[in-house]
């Protein structure tokens, strides 16, 4: 009998009242390994109520106490992240090294949040008027909702919840039903770190759970990462209900390779950024824009490297794992069919890959297209798989126009040895995150993560100081005290409490 991954409320599993479940599958074998609970409205409200009940006490918990728990969570995560990586690989399919990398990038936000007392400091003006002082403080919002995608079941939630919790909010996390177990592992770790009941909760489910988070008046903000159509829905529904919303949407990330670039470096980068995690990254490079007469050589170098990639079970010595579900594998394969039919050159075809894994695994190998044009679906759509398209242009200006006219604006990169060209590109390109000779420009935790255009709905990016402002609100206080007060004698050295 398979196990059921349940919800989490008040620091313990919460089975809920719904009997609805969805299968959890190992993508490398195609086998169902468990079930995940799907919340009904009553279940969703019970989990949200736990967060709401815990908020007043957590809001009033001292910064010293909050950060001490956060530090403990960081230490436990660092000691045991190998366990979490195995869970991610078993349910998502990415190779273990990639899963560990995901956790490490999420841990950077935990470490950033450990310094939140300094970042929450307000301002003070003495004697703004006669004997009148004015100061401002930042206070937590209340219970907040996080709706995270399947491709990063640990890192994406960690973009949000460390800062939210450190700032004094309580959390309801709604993970993807495709790989839900990581969320429960994180909840158990928070409990071990000493987080009080109800501060971190997990709501499993589908659209029913999402809609309750978007409309329930107890939830004060929503942080979402996923496809652009769903991001639009989340933003419209959440803001209509009076919530703050940061909804990070889809991407079609281009990399420009200029004629003066180191083509070996560029080819390595295209392979790593295009096929890492089977292309299931919102920061994956899916379009390589070859400028001038370098295209033939660049394509040859990418092909040479991509042919060496071993596709297989993520627990084995593989470079790239399976896609997350059979349906998604079939969808990506249909794009390969469409690209071929549209006249693009299939340089490397992953549809018949000989994978080192189960016969029923969801396999699709690295696929490379050349001579792709902007009217083809393999160019216009976010495929979210190991499919890299090469577009040939004559000039930098044409390459820039290609990127700036694209509806997405998540990440981009330029490969060049010309500092002037790089500086011009970073100034002119209409994209939220830019890499210069860096293929996946994911910023450090103390900078913001987020795109432009149809890659972001809302005006606030994830983590960094923008994350702190998102999870707090300002309060300005004007005070006048006419008589001094006396607290008596206390010769002890002041202590944090």
Name the residue among 140, 159, 141 with its Cα closest to residue 217. Answer: 141
In 113-150, which positions are buried (b, 16+ CB within 10 angstroms) versus exposed (e)?
A: bbebeebbeeeeeeeeeeeeeeeeebebbbbbbbbbbb
> What does the block give as tokens for 280?
């299931």
Strand order of the β-sheet with 285-291 is 345-348, 367-370, 387-393, 285-291, 253-257, 411-415, 433-436
Backbone angles phi, psi at 334, to 5 degrees: -70, -30
Burial letters for 404-439: b for 16+ Cβ neighbours within 10 Å, e otherwise? eebebbbbbbbbbeeeebbeebeeebebbbbbeebb
Catalytic residue among 166, 282, 306, 414: 282
Q: Minimal CA–CA distance to 247: which of 210, 209, 205?
A: 210
Q: What are phi and psi of 177, to 5 degrees?
A: -70, -10
Residue with tokens 């003066």: 260
Is 114 one of the catalytic residues? Answer: no
Sign of the torsion angle spanned by Cα atoms 348, 280, 429, 427: negative
Residue 62 is encoded by which pair of tokens? Answer: 């001292």
In the three-class reduction of DSSP (H, G, I as helix; E, B as strand; rest coil), residue 207 is classed as helix
| Residues catalogued as catalytic | 282
């Amino acid at each position: 009998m398979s196990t059921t991954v349940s919800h989490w409320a008040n620091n313990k599993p919460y089975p809920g009242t719904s009997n609805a479940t969805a299968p959890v599958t190992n993508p490398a074998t195609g086998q169902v390994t468990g079930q995940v609970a799907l919340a009904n409205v009553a279940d969703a409200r019970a989990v949200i109520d736990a967060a709401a009940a815990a908020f007043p006490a957590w809001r009033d918990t001292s910064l010293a106490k909050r950060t001490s728990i956060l530090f403990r969570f960081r230490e436990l995560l660092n000691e045991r992240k190998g366990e979490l990586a195995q869970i991610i690989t078993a349910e998502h399919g990415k190779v273990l090294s990639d899963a560990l990398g995901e956790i490490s990038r999420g841990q950077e936000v935990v470490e950033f949040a450990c310094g939140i007392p300094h970042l929450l400091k307000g301002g003070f003006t003495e004697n703004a008027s006669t004997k009148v002082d004015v100061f401002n403080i930042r206070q937590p919002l209340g219970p907040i909702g996080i709706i995270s995608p399947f491709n990063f079941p640990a890192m994406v939630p960690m973009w949000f919840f460390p800062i939210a919790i450190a700032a004094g909010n309580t959390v309801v996390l709604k993970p993807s039903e495709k790989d839900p177990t990581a969320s429960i592992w994180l909840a158990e770790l928070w409990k071990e770190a000493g987080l009080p009941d109800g501060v971190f909760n997990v709501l499993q489910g589908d659209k029913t759970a999402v809609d309750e988070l978007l409309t329930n008046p107890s939830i004060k903000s929503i942080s979402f990462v996923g496809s652009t159509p769903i991001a639009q829905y989340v933003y419209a529904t959440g803001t209509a209900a009076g919530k703050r919303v940061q909804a990070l949407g889809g991407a079609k990330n281009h990399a420009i390779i200029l004629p003066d670039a180191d083509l070996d470096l560029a080819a390595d980068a295209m392979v790593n950024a295009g096929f890492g995690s089977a292309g299931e990254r919102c920061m994956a490079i899916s379009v390589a824009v070859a400028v001038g007469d370098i295209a033939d050589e660049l394509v040859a170098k990418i092909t040479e490297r991509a042919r060496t990639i071993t596709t297989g079970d993520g627990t084995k010595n593989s470079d790239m794992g399976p896609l997350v579900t059979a349906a998604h594998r079939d969808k990506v394969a249909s794009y390969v069919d469409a690209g071929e039919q549209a006249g693009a050159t299939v340089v490397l075809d992953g549809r018949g890959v000989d994978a080192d894994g189960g016969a029923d695994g969801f396999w699709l190998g690295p696929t490379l297209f050349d001579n792709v044009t902007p009217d083809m679906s393999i160019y216009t759509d976010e495929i979210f798989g190991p499919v890299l398209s090469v577009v040939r242009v004559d000039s930098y200006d044409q390459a820039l126009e290609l990127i700036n006219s694209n509806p997405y604006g998540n990440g981009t990169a330029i490969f060049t040895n010309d500092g002037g060209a790089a500086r011009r590109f970073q100034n002119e390109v209409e994209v939220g995150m830019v890499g210069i000779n860096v293929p996946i420009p994911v910023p450090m935790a103390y900078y913001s993560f987020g795109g432009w255009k149809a890659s972001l709905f809302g005006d606030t990016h994830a983590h960094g100081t923008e994350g702190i402002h998102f999870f707090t609100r300002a309060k300005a206080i004007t005070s006048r005290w006419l008589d001094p007060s006396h607290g008596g004698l206390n010769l002890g050295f002041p202590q944090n409490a």
